[in-house]
Amino acid sequence: MTAEFVLLSTVYYLLQESKKKVHNKSMFLKRLGAFFLDITEVVVFAIAIFLFVYLLVLQPHKIKGASMEPNFPDGEYLLTDKVSYRFGEPQRGDVVVFEAPVANGEEYIKRIIGLPGERVSIKGNQIYINDEALVENYLPSQLPTKPGAFLEEGKEVVVPANHFLVLGDNRIASSDSRSWGFITKESISGRAWIIYWPPPEVGIVAKASYQL
């Protein structure tokens, strides 16, 4: 066996090994590319689902302030349902998030008390609907409902069509319809549905009931 043959054989072998490495590298890159493509598709799909849910179905909301205590304390997190009112009307007792008429686009969270067409008044620290006292079992006993600049003591107001009268559960520390009047259905961005933080409070928001 000559040295030239050995050299040629060695070169041929190295070329073949080089081709194998190039092929293996190419396969690796293809597989790596396919992996990242799969990851990208999953991420894009997840973002699309998130945007769909966030814009059309559910939206997170943080309680700011003490106006809904003790039922919804400061710092609590809610998911608001943005679908229900597309197919039905807000009901008394619903806790809703809406664009406040007096806060430059800031969102408030309050409870619906007065419905369209109803007569609402405050007499002796008590809410009346169509001359009947409204019993609110979700409030602490003896919590007074004071009048305000809009809903004055003994003054009766009629809720217009497509409007609602809303109050905070913490009647002594809430800026609400007593001060600045009604809200429209269009201003409501969602209904409080689920409490998801803090963990001890996780659960579906309880529906209020009334006897009127």
60 — phi, psi (to 5°)?
Answer: -75, 150
Q: Quote the DSSP letter at residue 201.
A: G
Strand, coil or helix: 96: strand
Contact indicator for 111, 168 with CB cutoff of 8 Å:
yes
Please give the structure tokens belonging to residue 159: 């809720």
CB atoms within 10 A of CB 77: 15
> Among residues 110, 121, 174, 177, which one is catalytic?
110
In angstroms, the CA 197 to CA 210 distance is 28
Q: Where are the beta strands (DSSP E) in the chain?
A: 58-62, 77-81, 95-99, 107-114, 119-123, 126-129, 132-133, 157-158, 163-167, 183-184, 188-197, 203-204
21 is catalytic: no
81 — phi, psi (to 5°)?
Answer: -85, 120
110 is catalytic: yes
> Among residues 18, 64, 67, 174, which one is catalytic?
67
Specify the residue for token string 């809406």: 98
Catalytic sites, residue numbers:
67, 110
